[in-house]
Structure 1
C-alpha cells in the first residue's frame, strides 16, 4: 500500500505515463468530456472534492510547465483565477471556453471534481524534471 503522494489509483496510473507536453484536465462537474477521453470521476457531492484540493494534489505529483484556463474565468470566477495565478505563477494562458472544450478532447485524462462554480477548469501541461 502506498503511503504518500497521490493515493487515487486511477490518477496514479495516468501521471507516470505522461510525456512532455501531454495534458491532463481538472474539471468542474459540468465540463463535457468527449467520447474516448479517460474520465476519472472524483465527484462525491456538490463541492466535494473542490477544484482547489484536486489541483493541488495533482500538482504535488506532476511536473507542470503550462496551464490553460478559459478566459471567461477572469470575470466570472475571480476566486479560481486567483488560485491558479498563485499555484502556477506566470504559467497560466487563457483561451476561449469553446477552444478550451476542444482542447479537452486531446487530453490524456479528465479528472472530474465536485466543484460547482463557473469555469472551475484547467488543463495542466506536463513538463520534465530535468
Structure 2
C-alpha cells in the first residue's frame, strides 16, 4: 500500500500514464465531460471533495507547464480565481464555451464534487528535467 500521495488507485494509475504535453481537466461537478478522455470521478457529495483540495493534490504529483481556465471564473467564483492565479501566474483565460471545446482533447478528466461555478482548469503536463 502507498504511504503518501494520491491513494485512489484509478487516479494514481491514470497520472502515471501521462506524458509531456498531455492535458488534464480538473472540473467541478457540473462541467460537461466530453466523450473520449479517461475519467476519474471523485465526486461524492456536493462540495466533496472540493476543487481546491483535488487541485493541490494533483499539483503535488504533476509537473505542469501551463493552465487554462474560463474567464468567467473571475466574476462568478472569486475564490477559485484567487487559487488559480496564485498557482499559475501565466494562467490562460478563455470563454467557458472554448474551455469546454478544449477539454475534448484532454487525456484525463478528474471530476470533483465542487458545487461552485467555473471551478475548472485544464492543466498541460510538462517534464521534470
1:4-83 aligned within 5 A: 4-83=4-83
1:26 & 1:119 partners in 2: Cα distance?
11
- Deviation above 6 Å: which 4+ runs of structure 1? none
How many pairs align? 129
User: Where does the alignment leave 5 or more consecutive residues of structure 2 unmatched?
Assistant: none
Alignment of 1:115 onto 2:114: yes
1:7 & 1:123 partners in 2: Cα distance?
22
Q: CA deviation at 1:115?
A: 0.3
1:129 & 1:5 partners in 2: Cα distance?
17
2:60 & 2:6 partners in 1: Cα distance?
8
Q: CA offsets per residue over residues 71-93 of structure 1, 9 Å max, x none?
A: 111111111000111122x2311
Q: CA offsets per residue over residues 88-111 of structure 1, 9 Å max, x none?
A: 2x2311011111001111001111
Look up the match of 2:93: 94
Instruction: Calculate the TM-score normalised by the size of structure 2.
Output: 0.96
